[in-house]
Amino acid sequence: MHFTGTVYRNPYWETFPLLQITQGCTHNKCKFCTMYRDVPFKVQPMEWIEQDLHEIVGIAPNATTIQLLSANPLAMTYDKLAPILEMINRYLPKMEYIYAATRVTDIRNKTVEQLKSLKEMGLREISLGIESGDDWTLERINKGYTSADILKQCHKLKDAGIDYWMTFLNGVAGRAHSHDHAVNSAKIFSQCKPLVVGTGGLTLFPSTPLLEEAQRGEFTPLSEKEMLIELKTFVENLTCDCKFITHHTVSGKNLTGSDFLKRKESIISALEHEIEHGDLDAMAAIRNRKRTL
């Protein structure tokens, strides 16, 4: 298999096999991330992709799911992406679900009709690393799009019938803008009505611009307690039904699961308990052990 560097995959997509069709990230400028810092974006050669599919057939000829790599493989135009999906279906005729993580900006270059066509080829579910629905925060962390872009592109996905995940990055706005980040993100997420809302807490990794800004006093990170308060504010303002998943250092008990609106009050109660009685030192220790997103 032609995997270039470390492989990152969505752990909640229980998909096998994995197929890398691009390398790196087209944007590669988010201030909190170094995941693909030294990996220039490029499309895998078609002969590599076909060789990998031939290898997959020898291992899992009856595969019904597959996850496309790397950071944002849907950055390719429809004309380049469609032949790859056609090839996947040709080699794996029982294919039902093709999954991929991608950026909001990758949907811009595709019409709703093209997205519908990709869905017919198996592209059923994608994950969007939104991070925030607050324009001040999006600009601050250099995401490369606005809240209006999020709404427009997600509505195209909805019209095409492609399910999508949206992620909220807890703490990324810093202390001064924490409340607005939580409230405005919840508003945008609620309007988009994603299948899954995922949340994770910010860790300031070495060599990230955000850590360097924090060291210069230009960014004030949240404490563990403040992170929980911000997450609670986000949950309180989230009004769409979805599956809710959190990667926060707090225990996932009573937090992660389907039927968000039915469980909303219990999630809030669980967060309130952690805010008042949680082992904040243990949470900080878990965060400090993290080495990547």
Express each pLDDT in 81-94 by its tens digit.
999 999 999 999 99
Alpha-carbon span 8 to 269, nearest angstrom: 33
pLDDT in tens, 257-266: 999 999 999 9
| Residue 10 included in any domain | no
Alpha-carbon span 29 to 55, nearest angstrom: 34
CB proximity list for 167: less than 8 A, separation 6 or greater: 127, 128, 129, 130, 131, 197, 198, 199, 200
Q: What is the pTM of this model?
A: 0.94
| Residue 4 included in any domain | no
Distances in Å between the Cα of 121 and the Cα atoms of 22, 85, 147, 231 are: 19, 6, 29, 37
Position 290 pLDDT exceeds 90: no
| Residue 7 included in any domain | no
> Based on the structure, what is the number of domains in the chain?
1
Q: Which of 6-15, 65-74, 210-219, 244-253 has the lowest mean pLDDT?
A: 244-253
Q: CB–CB of 9/69 below 8 Å?
A: yes
What average pLDDT does this structure show over 250-255?
A: 67
CATH assignment of the domain containing 196: 3.80.30.20
Position 249 pLDDT exceeds 70: no
| Residue 1 included in any domain | no
- Per the DSSP assignment, residues forming a β-bridge with 128 are 102, 166
- Mean pLDDT rounded to a whole number for the chain: 94
Is 259 exposed, middle or buried, given 0-12, 13-18 or 19+ CB atoms closer than 10 A? exposed
pLDDT in tens, 145-202: 999 999 999 999 999 999 999 999 999 999 999 999 999 999 999 999 999 999 999 9
| Residue 237 included in any domain | yes
Residue-range definition of the domain harbouring residue 79: 18-289
pLDDT at site 251: 58
pLDDT at site 286: 85
| Residue 281 included in any domain | yes
* Identity of residue 274: E
Tokens of 58: 């020898």
| Residue 31 included in any domain | yes
What average pLDDT does this structure show over 240-255?
A: 80
| Residue 251 included in any domain | yes
